[in-house]
Structure formats: structure tokens, C-alpha cells
Structure 1
């Protein structure tokens, strides 16, 4: 269909719903009841989708553009589940083409939240990074037009080179369980993966996602597989085809490239459905023109997808915009269900649904197959009528805009509601009902979306300080007022629901607030009953007075783990498994009626804050505790000189509060003082409380825990939260116990050091330096360019700093001069080749060693850097977490001394993990070992190696003094 925005008509045709149905050739279908239900009652039987947490849709999802896409979706039942390992693995161009171009229902299952990735935007890592990447992918999904985002319970434990390692960490059954659950929930016609399940996928976790996609296709329809999933009404489901993207790594008829290891292997691929091995490269069975230009959206699907993929800034800092040009996506078919196998099909190879091997019926009338081998006549006829009248609606272009179009679409919607009601009340078996209710429910939602676009209906709801205004709308500059992002138990606040309709044709029936957990919040509608004037008004504001229950639970991630070593999440509420986040606590709903059919809109209640450089930002309302408690630092080794450990407990409150804080200490430890009191006068205030903790005399070389507990108003508070985000990204609160982990470490460091630090993409290395008794100075851009660098004995450059700070390379001559004059310059791993005193070269995809237990060999055990002030031995590399390191150089000038060697199984020896250069009077060190991942876990060897590097400039004096 070619759609171009036309003049919107405001004509209101006074026709009864029964008359419209008769004109359309419909016969009202009863639901085997003595009296037919009203359309409003019928809609009440349809499960409501989650209210949108997005306050302002993308331009592509508004008005005429959204209408065009929704009409595509109405006329097809095409559906797809895409399975990948990490955020940014998805083929966004294909998803966008399918969703926005063809109208398919596209769901993305991402096994992990990308916790083990890098972070180019902030200092968060591990689970906090997972929260960032979750929100980044949700933003990307908006561009892709994804219908749903689902998540596995697996945790990204860092780069892995083999399927075997990934399955050993996660467990094969856990991953398959997550995939089968997603298939049964979404009931897709097709399963897709970006990966084939072999070494050309590179990353071992990629390989797992490719394998699991095929295995889920094979077993999801078997009720004997994971029968516990079926106890609450979920039904088995057999998808009709499974594809994967053709390998993107080089493949010949004999060999294929494994980019994880950088080696070539025999070219063979496993079909996990049939068990067969395919020799040579899997052929491209279909070629999808994802570079097609959309005349309504004004861009190609690849261009739209690239903008979405670029929202995942933590990995790349953003993406360059794509040019408008042809672009294809090649996919290989692994298996097709017998019922969808093509016979004598003359279709080409540009469709996943109809091609030479696959024939999937995506027409609404084809849903009759879900009614069993002999579907009832009323079902076949009802579906055919919906299909016929949608075809007629589309062919009559004058019906596609404004009120006139809404009058033509409303009776088809009413018929769909009626058919849904009859299916629900019928004697069809449970599996048939599950499929039909899901598909018809999706159509009902799409009808409402189309009518919303045709009639210009809009809803947004936001908090107000004391109730806000009531009336018919503001003026030209009207906007929501700024408000706090969260509320706390017992707080009273206002919510303003703002409704508008552009065509003045619908009638507002009701507006209400609803809690996500069904718990009774005290909600009072300040506006009273909706009279005829209000119902017909073009703009309506309704105000609600709300009180949060005393026992309201905080809005927090439902997926947690006790430590970073556990490679999967524990789920606090099984009903939320596979969701992005727990539902936001409060939503606003509005129901309009038009020609007798209901149109329901739902939005999560928002807050508004002004962010400098970004402007006004809506965030979903959250519940937080009244008081939060955090301990700083969260991990630190005990002072080297035996002095007391300094502990800062920060209390932050959402309102004025008084109370006290105590520390829970290991047996025999003492705190001075034993208790501190706090008095916070205003909402948002914080107060740091200082404690001095003295360990017991017989401290062992093991981990200890110190916990802080605040008492206020008869309640105890033992955790705090921090806002995890960066400017422009939705914020999520991460909750943590107010706990300090500490341990005794046998480590010495040269005295009298002054350390400067140049932060890269963010890390906790400065905290580790501080634990060694030297608080580093964070060197500013101006100091780097023109300051006196000689004031620091040591300058440490943070991870990936050269790629994230363009000015750093420009300042390299000053750093080289600093080095020549006697300074020590320590450079942590970088993501690509960077300037150095003598050349160090990193490959385009730098080597990494991912096995944290890989043996580390000392190549020059007598070197002073490995002997003073701490004797470094291979045992210092025991107990490391996640990986050995990144950015191992391929080549370096012979002036450097390589001090270590390590490798993953099958990998060439990596000798560039610790490079030493004496230049002029100074010392230059490049370290690829991932120290920054070890410090938060208090790994002793990492601290000892850091101490030696910091002390390198004084090693001769130290050796002489010994």
C-alpha cells in the first residue's frame, strides 16, 4: 500500500454501530450468552498490555506515520522471535524491515544484559552496566519497532571463546528453558538468530544463542519438555521455521575463520534440529532487502535501525549515521515444520514467510488453522470477514484518514471484539484458545492504536507537587511541572492526567489510576463525574490525590545475584521472569468511545526533570524507601600500617528525618564512635557520617564484612540505592546493602608518592590507589595541556582513555617529556593502537585472554618490577575473576621488556600483558591485565602488582635501602 498523508476530515457521520455492521456485511456473533456483551465489556475480557513507560513516542510512531504502520500490522499475522546473546547482537535492520515495513510482530529475546561488556559512557560495570545496557536496548527497540523485549536469566561473564565455556557457566538446560519459555509465551511463526551456533560466531555466548534458537524450535512444541511451564495455562507451541543469519566471518568451501581465536578451522556447520553436519558455508536461502526506502518514514529501514543501534552508547560511544543505499540481509533456513513446507512454490527468495522452501500463511483468515484440524464454521467465517473488510478498507484510500476512516474501521474492530468473546466462551481446546486469544488480542490492540491515530487521541500523566490544576488545558507554553523522580511509603502527592483529541469526534468515558501490583493505594479523583461537556472537550485534565501505602515496596530490579561469580540471576518474582524490569508502580488509563466501541490508552505515570544539555526529561515514577544508607567505599583492603579503617556512611532521605546509624562489625572489631546521629532537614538532603574501625588483633588474610544500619521513626534501613544512567538514558535505581567488604592483604608500596590519574571510560582504579595510602589527583584537561606534570611521581592512564579522550593523544609529547624527566607513566589497556614513547601496535580486534584461570608465566622473574616492593609470583594471579585482560599488543618495539606470558587454550602465547620501558630518567609501563575487574573483589595479587607499578620509579632507592 502506498500511503501519503491526506487532508484530515472532521466529518462526523451519525450512524449506529449495528447499521455499520450491517453495511459491512457482518452478522453479530453471540458469545453463547443470553444477552450479548457490550463492546466495553468485551474489551474488559482482553488482557491489557502493559501501560507504556515511554512518555513521548518517536516521530515514526505518531500520527500518519504510525497509522500507516499500524494498518500494515492489522492485515498480517506474521510473527517472529529473534534470539541473541547480548544487547547490540541483534540485526536491527531486519527487525525494522519486518516490523515497520511488513507489519510483523517482532519479539527479541536477549539472553544476557551485557554485564561483561565495556563501558564507554560511565564507570558502571557488572550488574550496574547490565542495567544501563537494558535501557539502551529498550531505546533501540523503539527504533526497530519491536513489539516485545524479553530477557534470559543468564549473566554475561565476559568474552568467551567457546560454546563449551558458556554452557559450563550457565548450564545448557537453563538457557534452553529461557528460550522455550519465550517461544511458548510469544508463539512466533518463525525463530531467528544472528548466529549459526558455530565458531564463525566468534564469541562463545554468540554460539550458544545460535544453537539454542534451533533447539527451541525443535522442542518448544513438546509438552514433555519443561512441563512446569504449562501448569498456569501456558501451552506448547511449534514454530514453523527457524533461520539464522549467514555467517559474517570469512568462510570458504574448506575453511572458516574463528575471530574469537583468530584461527582457521574446517568449514562445517551443525544443524541442531536434524543433527546433521553441513560441509562448507551455509547458503543464503533468503535475501531480505532491508535497505528499502520507506516513503512515509523518509528513510531506509537500515538507516532507522542504525540510529537505534547507536543508542547503545556504552559499547561504542554512539554510531555513525547510515547512508541511504541498497542493503541486504542474508539468512539460512535450518528447518521448516511439515505444515509450512512449500510444495511447488514459485515464490522468490526475498521473504522469510513465503519462499521456495517455506509457505507460511500470514493472512488473518489463516488463523482458522489454530482452531484444530476442523475449525468451526463461525471461526472461519468470522476471520474471513475481518480479512475481507480490512482489505476493502485499505483499497478505499478515502477511508484511511480522520473521522471518516475511523467510522469505517470501528465496525471491523467491533467484530473482532465479538469474535474474541466467542472464542473465549467456546468449547475449543485450551491450545486452540491460547493461540486464537493471543492473535485476536494483538489485533484488538492494533485496532485501538489505529483509531487513536485516526482520531488524534493522546494521554500523558505526570506527578504534581500538590495536586495541580483542573480544567480544559493550558496555553501555548503549557507543560508539566518538574517533580521528584520517586515517592516513598506514606507520601501524598498529586497526579495530573492530560488528555487530548485532535478530531473532536470521540467521547471520553472514564479516566483512572491503577497500581501494577494490585495493592490498594489511596487514590481520589478530584474532578468528579465526567459530564457531557468534559467528555467532548478537545483537551481534558484530570487530577488525582494519591497516598502511597505505608508498606509499599521499592521499585527495584527483580533480578539479582549474591556475587559477581554467579553466572545467572535469581528471580524474586517468577511472574516477571523474562521482563525488562518490574512493572512501574502507577499507571494512568483513559477510555474513549467512538461509534460504540471503546478505545483504551494506558501510560505509566511520569516525572519531569530538567537535565542540562538535554532539556526536560520524563522518567517513570518509582517508589524508593524513605531513607537510604550507603557505605563508602564499598570495598577496600585494610590499611597497610595497621591504622583504623575509615568508613563513611552516607544517609540520604526523601523527606526531613532524624535517627542514628550503627555498624555491624566482625567479632572483636571496634568502631569509634559506636553510633552516630543524623538530622536531615529537607527532602533530598544527605549527610556523611564518619567512623573509624579498628580490626581485632588476629586479623586473618580473608574477607570481612562491615554493615551499616540506620534507625529512624521506629524503622530500620540497611540498604541504599544509586541512579544508574548517563544523560539522555532512562535511569534505574540499583539497590545494595550498606556494606563494606574488606580484607587484609600482604602488600607494600614505596613511600611519598604523588599520583595523578587520567580517567578514561570509567573505572575504580583510583579507589584501589587510595587504599594503598595515596589519594590520586584526577588530572583535568587543562592540567594535561598546560599544567605542571612534574608535581606527580606517577601518572596513571585509565582504560580506553586514548579512544575516549581525543585530547590525550595530542598531549602525548608532554607525557613523553614528563617520562624523560623521571616520571613514571602507567597505561592500562586500550582498545586500539595509541601513541607511546616507542611503538606498541594493537590489532583491529586486539587480543584478549578470557580464561581467568589461564597460567601466567613470568618471563623475567628477576626484573625489579616483579620483585620490589613485593615479590610477584604466579600465585599472585590466583583467584582472579572473569578474565586475564584485554588489549594484548601484537607487536612492540624491541626497547620494551615483556615480563609475562599467558594464553587461553589454543591461543598463541600473549607476551604483551606487562611491558616495561626505561626512557630517559623515567619508567613506562603498559598493562593489559584487567586489574580494574579485580580491585572491587579485593584480589590480593592485583593490589601487589599495582603497588609495584606505582613504586617503579623508586625501585633503585628502595633496593638500596634494603
Structure 2
């Protein structure tokens, strides 16, 4: 963790006490004694400006982290980041979660990253399976907006702008052909929203809801040094934080661990460049910052108010706030003095709000002042808590609840500062329909140094409570209000981990997706249902499977008894399809019944040190894809997993003898025992032993083995010479992929064994693929390879290096950029048939 000395801080502060680790750590750790003074600065810096800015992006990690750190941490600007989707369509560099589960991880990472840069985060995507979904790489904004639903996405963006009212709007990307279609779509919407957010005829329902139109003052787009309007000195070093804004921004980017984000930067000058695209204020070719010509301080705001009829009294109040802010900053780092000045400013903010309401100023001006003063009040609440060293907590007895359960939640306040606070009130907030009853007093006359007050609430979850939604606001929060120096502040607090209403009996089916071979339709499908009891204390239930009509399941039901909460038990079933089963997708659902209630859900626990614990509640189902498939008897495969795919598990389900190869196996084991060795996607980048053992792998092929290598990026330590004949990956990477899963595929070598043995591949096998065809296709390859397919997005040049195979010695080497890791878990019949053929080449 980066250290920084507060070398030039006030003389009264000892340097050793102020040398600080500046940012929130990447994982929960004990609080450091010297963090308080830095967090205090973060809390009071926003009091110096009334300006605001918004950065828009498509995915988690799109935020311009260095620029946001500069605006928020360096300038104190009210800064927001609006991100469209949850990143569900990406890859996962820390685990095997994909789809919605990955979206939950990336959302939590984004939330933690936003805490580090002290910015306000919003998402356009509102729930699991939202229309604004990361459906994978897109080459056009038109496709993106069509799939998201342009009206839905645009209405939500306009709503965010009208709610947060930024002075400056900054899309993270340009609308350029070489850019991801999701990024381009956000640019298109953001640029259009500059004017539309101010037009009351655009989404007029907002007006009816009390949400006023808002005219952004300036719109900037990313630029380069050769042509820019504003240069942001993100390399500037801040003594209080002990880092540059680039470094602070990267601390936030390190939270995006599932994407492998975050880099280490040395100290030194650097800049981010932006070009003014639209403005309603007079501007110059080169500007000092984003806010030139825009009200930035309370004095600026006072001048605007005074220029309007009836605005003199309001202007006077705003001038007082300017003086208040200066006095707060001058008191730093004396905690009690800062607290006193902050509470005096809070009283003046509340007085200014009253003056605004009683003034004859125009309605639009009043709305603007209410918003800016409301933001300042919230900032002062935070500054107060930091200056008073007031630590507020809400601690549930358990974070895992079930409908109908009664539990206890404790709200507490601890005073770590020298100043006494008065009239402390502890309030617990629960959803509508829940009950919360305080078991002791909630009000306390005073709270002095090193004292704690707490109240325990008895909370009852309603019998029909909605199951946990990971993107919803926290179910349980608390407010701690208190008085100090003549004004009252409130500290809002949330639990450290998600409080989740989970199924009483959460079920997981193993497998959760499988193939039914219609060549052997009555081959039994073993299904294991693992059940976790989330009910407090002993419980019992009966587990059964709902199967398609005409299918048979044994046993009909399996009773389970649990002694304690958290206990896990399993039930085994055998499912058989009728002999006449047709090729199609079928669903099997687990049901837990008892006491007149049924549960049909599972709860996937998602837990990583950097994001804590959360949950993905989803139907407890097993998808069965029925189609004809031939698998050679006794086929033995060694699988080298990078951790990013689980194809090995599906091969095992198909009857293939699969061994996951360890580093020792690769470096010194007997490779010749395997008919085929498969390298998972990007394996060279994450299995370091592969580079040093590559000669062994090629020798394995030369001796008659079958080596299958799935796609790599150049940064995965891929070099053309790792293959027996050179293969070079095309760059830039976004131009070497096929994103249309329905794009036409031509088999260039239809007589090759990969398309014939043991399964005959036809044009139908390219149907019903999902998300993409291929990624990171080769641009150059040796003449020794057979080009197996030609494929490209409509209207673009086709790639012929997507699927390459070559004889090498007695064996075969195959390199494929087809996205098997998506298609096979989705049980795409054609992809499974081809993969089986590919690993069967030496049979």
C-alpha cells in the first residue's frame, strides 16, 4: 500500500502522526490510527465548491478514474459516475462465475472503487436480467441500443442527469468505428442528452413526477494532446493524500480484480485531455479547467442570485456560506475546531434553504439552489461525523434471513473525539411491510469521548418478503442523528455486508446443465440436489423434482431433516426420459415443500475479500439439452485450466475421462497417457509453467498427441513461436473478432475429421450459438495449417484463421478462437459436437 508523508501540513501536527496510507485498502483490514486526518480532508474538501460533474460509461471499469480522483479528491467537485450495464458479458479473472453472477461481482467491485475516489455511483441497469445487459462485444451503437431498448436506456440516462444535475458532462468514450458498440452507444446518448435533458417535452412524465428539466453547462469528450480544450493534471502529487491523482485513480481500478485492472504508476507529471463539444456559456479555445465560465464557489452562486430580481437576501446567505467554508478549511486538521465550523456552516445552509423558499426568485433558480444546498447539507453531515470522530454502525444478528423470521439488529454510535455531542437518536430503517421494535431507549441526552450508545431492535421479516435482489438498495439501514454547536446532523449507515432474505431451503442441482444423448435416450440422468437450511434452528422439508411430462424420476420425494441453520444435506435422484424424446431443451426444477409452503430457488454465495459477501438467488433448475452425440469410448483428456472456463466439467458429463493437469503434471508428468491435452482460454497468461514447458507440449504432439489450444490475447504472454508453426494474434483486438452469433459460417475443409468424426457436422450445427462466434482471431499463421472455417460479421471481411489445425510429427495441433467457453456451458449442440470431434482427432 502506498505511503505518503504530510510534509507540509500544519506545524501543530507531527509528521509521524500524519504519514498515511491514503486510500481505503483493497480488503477489509483494521483501521489505521493515522487515517482519520486524511478522511477528514476528503470530507471537508467538497465544502469549498458548488460545482458538479458527471462521467458516463458502459461497463464497470469504464470510469475515467484519474480524472474522477482529481475532480473529487483534489478539487472537491460533486462528482458522479453513471455506468450502463453490470459487465455480465465479460470474462472473469478471479473465478468461474459468468453471466449474472459475474455482473454481481463487477457491480460490487465498481461500488468499492467508487468509495476510493469518493464519487457518487449510479447504474442504468436496475435489476438482474435487465434490458440494459452486457450481451458481449458489439461493433455498432445501433445494435447496442436496439438490444438495450433505446427508449429505456435513454429515459434512464435523462433521469440520472435531471436528478444529479451536473454542470459538466463527460462521456468516457468517443463514437468511433474502432470502439466497442456499448461505448459508442453511451457517447451517442450522452451527447444527445446535453440538450434533451433540458427539454420538458422529452420524457414529460419526469415533470409530472416533480423532476425538473436540467441544462448541463458544458459537454466534453476525450481528446489527445494535439487537439484539446482542457488538460487535467492527473499526475499532480497531493501531499495530503501522499499520491498523484493517477495513482489514486489506479487504487480504485485495482478493485476491478475480476477484470485484472490496476497498474502501478511512478510519480511525475501527466495529463488527461478533453475537448469541449457543446457549451451554453462563453468559452475560450484553451480553458484552465472544466468549470471556466461556470459558478464554482458560493461567491459565484451569490453573484448569480443577486443578479436576479428579489435575490439579494439569498445572495447574502450564500456569501455567508463562502466564509463558512473558508473557516472550516482553516480549522483543519484540528478535529474539534473543524466540527464547530462545520456545524455553524450546517446551520447557515439550513437558513439559506429557508431563505430560498421564501424568496421571489424564479422557480428554476429555486430548484437549482435547493439541489446545491441539499448536496452541501449531505456533505456537511459526512464532514461532521469525520470531525467528531463519530463511528456509527448497524449490526444484524445475522445477515442471512428467511421470510417470517424474527431477528435482532443493533444500532450504535461511538464518540472517538474530544467534543461531546447531544440529543443522540438511533433509528433503524426497514422495508415496507417489515416490523422493527426497539427493545430499549433510542434517544440519549449526550455522548462523550470514548463512550458508546446502542439500541437493539427486534425485526420481523414478513411471511411473503421478496427474496434478495443484489442491485436493490440495502434492506436494512440506520440513521444516527445528534446535535452539536447549535445544529443537528444525521449519519446514515449500512451494514458491512449485504443483509439478504434467502430461500428457507436453498437448493443447488448437480449438474445444473447437462446433455441427454438421443442416441441413448433412456440412459439415466443422476441428479444430486444439495440443500442448505437457512431457517434458524431445526427444520424439515421434502425435496422433489418437477420433470417434463412423460419423464420418470425416482424417488418421488426425499425427506430431509436439519438440526441447525447453515446445515447442508443432499438428496439423490435418477431421471429418465422416454425413448421417444425429441431433440430440444428441457427443464427440471427442484422443489422444497413443507408446512404448506414451497421453495424453488437456490442461493449462490459470492464471497471475495475485496467485495465481501453477497448472493445470487435464482431458480433451482437443471437444463437438459437433448440431441444426438457420439463420444469415443475410453477417450482420455488432460485439461489445463486457466480458471476462466469449466469446459472440463462438461466433457466429464459427456463420458470423457478428464484429468485436470497440475503444474507438476505439465512440467514432469507422463503426458503421453492422454489422447488429447486441452489448454483453457488464455492459459499461457495464467499458468506460468506452460511457457517453460512448451517444448514438452510440442514434443507430446510430435510423438502422436493431440493438443488443442483455445484463444489467447497477446498480453497473455502469447508469442507466435509457442505454436509449432507461427500464429500471430491480430491487433487491435477489437477488430479481430466476430460478434454476431448468427453470422454465416463456411466450412473450408468439410472433409476434415473435425467435421466428420465421430459426429457429422452440418450447417445446422452453427445455429443457436450465443453472444459471439470468436474472439482475438489470428492475423497471420504458417502455411502448414489447414483453415477450417471462414466467418465474419455481416458486411465485413471474413476471417479464415479462426479455426486452424496442422499435423506436427505424428500428432495434431489445433488452435481455435471460437468461444467454446460460452457455447459449451450454454449446451449449444453444434459446439459440443465439434469440440468432441476436436478432442477425438487421434482416436
Q: Under a length normalisation based on structure 2, what TM-score does the superposition of the two structures give?
A: 0.90
Give the one of 130, 142, 147 matched to 1:169: 147
Aligned-partner Cα distance in 2 for 1:767–1:187: 50
Give the one of 591, 601, 625 matched to 2:481: 591
* Preserved contact between residue 73 and residue 117 of structure 2 (Cα < 8 Å): yes
Give the one of 615, 620, 627 matched to 1:733: 615
Task: Mark the CA change 1:59 to 1:73 in structure 2 (over 3 Å): closer, same or farther.
Answer: farther
Query: What are the Cα deviations for residues 878-909 of structure 1, in whole angstroms up to 9, with x where unaligned?
Result: 12111101121122222222211112245443
Give the one of 601, 604, 627 matched to 2:491: 601
Aligned-pair CA distance for 1:391:
3.2
Q: Which residue of structure 2 lines up, in the alignment, with residue 641 of structure 1?
A: 520
Give the one of 847, 851, 859 matched to 2:748: 859
Aligned-pair CA distance for 1:83:
0.9
Task: Mark the CA change 1:247 to 1:134 in structure 2 (over 3 Å): closer, same or farther.
Answer: farther
Whose relative contact order is higher, 1 or 2, with alpha carbons under 8 Å and at least 6 apart? 1
Give the one of 631, 636, 643 matched to 1:761: 643
* Preserved contact between residue 463 and residue 605 of structure 1 (Cα < 8 Å): yes
Query: What are the Cα deviations for residues 706-730 of structure 1, in whole angstroms up to 9, with x where unaligned?
Result: 1111113332100111023434323
**Gaps (5+ residues) in structure 2?**
1-5, 15-26, 126-130
Give the one of 223, 246, 252 matched to 1:308: 252
Aligned-partner Cα distance in 2 for 1:668–1:827: 42
Q: Which residue of structure 1 lines up, in the alignment, with residue 238 of structure 2?
A: 294
Q: Which residue of structure 2 lines up, in the alignment, with residue 716 of structure 1?
A: 598
Q: Which residue of structure 2 lines up, in the alignment, with residue 351 of structure 1?
A: 289
* Preserved contact between residue 888 and residue 910 of structure 1 (Cα < 8 Å): yes
Matched ranges for 1:454-853 at <5 A: 454-464=387-397, 485-526=399-440, 530=444, 535-551=447-463, 553=465, 556-557=468-469, 581-606=471-496, 619-639=497-517, 640-642=519-521, 643-655=523-535, 656-774=538-656, 776-832=658-714, 833-834=718-719, 835-846=722-733, 847-853=736-742
* Preserved contact between residue 195 and residue 244 of structure 1 (Cα < 8 Å): yes
* Preserved contact between residue 516 and residue 584 of structure 1 (Cα < 8 Å): no
Give the one of 197, 216, 222 matched to 1:239: 216
Aligned-partner Cα distance in 2 for 1:911–1:433: 63
Aligned-pair CA distance for 1:669:
1.1
* Preserved contact between residue 521 and residue 547 of structure 1 (Cα < 8 Å): yes
Aligned-partner Cα distance in 1 for 2:781–2:647: 25
Query: What are the Cα deviations for residues 647-696 of structure 1, in whole angstroms up to 9, with x where unaligned?
Result: 22221112432111122221111111111111222221222222111113
Between the two proteins, the alignment pairs up a number of residues equal to 809
* Preserved contact between residue 424 and residue 483 of structure 2 (Cα < 8 Å): no
Aligned-partner Cα distance in 2 for 1:489–1:934: 37
* Preserved contact between residue 415 and residue 452 of structure 2 (Cα < 8 Å): no
Aligned-partner Cα distance in 2 for 1:922–1:552: 61
Task: Mark the CA change 1:87 to 1:398 in structure 2 (over 3 Å): closer, same or farther.
Answer: closer
Q: Which residue of structure 1 lines up, in the alignment, with residue 171 of structure 2?
A: 193
Aligned-partner Cα distance in 1 for 2:114–2:665: 41
Q: Is the partner of 2:89 in helix, strand or coil?
A: coil
* Preserved contact between residue 649 and residue 708 of structure 1 (Cα < 8 Å): yes
Aligned-pair CA distance for 1:603:
1.5
* Preserved contact between residue 161 and residue 204 of structure 1 (Cα < 8 Å): yes
Aligned-partner Cα distance in 1 for 2:118–2:412: 25
Q: Which residue of structure 1 lines up, in the alignment, with residue 793 of structure 2?
A: 904
Q: Does 1:215 align with 2:94?
A: no
Aligned-partner Cα distance in 1 for 2:469–2:813: 43
Q: Which residue of structure 2 lines up, in the alignment, with residue 341 of structure 1?
A: 282
Q: Does 1:329 align with 2:272?
A: yes
Task: Mark the CA change 1:528 to 1:498 in structure 2 (over 3 Å): closer, same or farther.
Answer: closer
Aligned-pair CA distance for 1:503:
2.7
Aligned-partner Cα distance in 2 for 1:690–1:212: 52
Q: Is the partner of 1:412 in helix, strand or coil?
A: helix
Aligned-pair CA distance for 1:300:
0.5
- Give the root-mean-square deviation of aligned CA atoms: 2.8
Task: Mark the CA change 1:411 to 1:541 in structure 2 (over 3 Å): closer, same or farther.
Answer: closer
Aligned-partner Cα distance in 2 for 1:602–1:817: 63
* Preserved contact between residue 588 and residue 604 of structure 1 (Cα < 8 Å): yes
**Gaps (5+ residues) in structure 1?**
10-53, 249-280, 465-483, 559-580, 607-618, 955-962
Q: Does 1:68 align with 2:71?
A: no
Q: Does 1:4 align with 2:14?
A: no
Aligned-pair CA distance for 1:553:
2.9
Aligned-pair CA distance for 1:118:
1.8
Task: Mark the CA change 1:442 to 1:921 in structure 2 (over 3 Å): closer, same or farther.
Answer: same
Q: Is the partner of 1:749 in helix, strand or coil?
A: coil
Q: Under a length normalisation based on structure 1, what TM-score does the superposition of the two structures give?
A: 0.79
